[in-house]
Amino acid sequence: MQELAGKHIVLGLTGGIACYKSAELCRLLVKAGATVQVVMTEAAAQFITPVTMQALSGRRVYTSQWDAREPNGMPHINLSREADAIVLAPASADFIARLVQGRSDELLSLMCLARPMERVPLLIAPAMNREMWSHPATQRNLRQLDADGARVLGVGNGWQACGETGDGRMLEAVQLFEDIVAQFQPKVLAGERIVVTAGPTFEALDPIRGITNHSSGKMGFAIARAAREAGAEVTLVAGPVHLPTPRNVRRVDVVSAADMLQATVLACEDASVFVATAAVADWRPAAHSEHKIKKDGGGKAPSLQFVENEDILLTVAKGARAQGGQLFCVGFAAESENLVEHAKAKRARKGIPLLVGNIGPLTFGQDDNSLLLVDADGVRELPRAPKLTLARELVAEIAARLPSRSRR
Q: Looking at the annotation, which residues are catalytic?
A: 162
- CA dist 48 and 230 (Å) reads 35
Which alpha helices (H) appear in 63-172, and where do they start and end? 75-82, 93-101, 107-114, 130-134, 136-147
Using an 8 Å Cβ cutoff, are 75 and 37 in contact?
Answer: no
CB-facing half-sphere around the CA of 52: CA atoms within 13 A: 16
Q: By three-state DSSP, how is residue 1 classified?
A: coil
If we measure between CA atoms, which residue out of 67, 48, 58, 68 comes closest to residue 9?
A: 58
DSSP conformation letters of 53-70: HHHHHSSPPB--TT-TT-
Q: How many residues does the chain have?
A: 408
- Residue 211 sits at φ, ψ, to 5 deg, of -110, 130
Which region holds residue 195: left if phi is over 0, alpha if psi is between -120 and 50, else beta?
beta
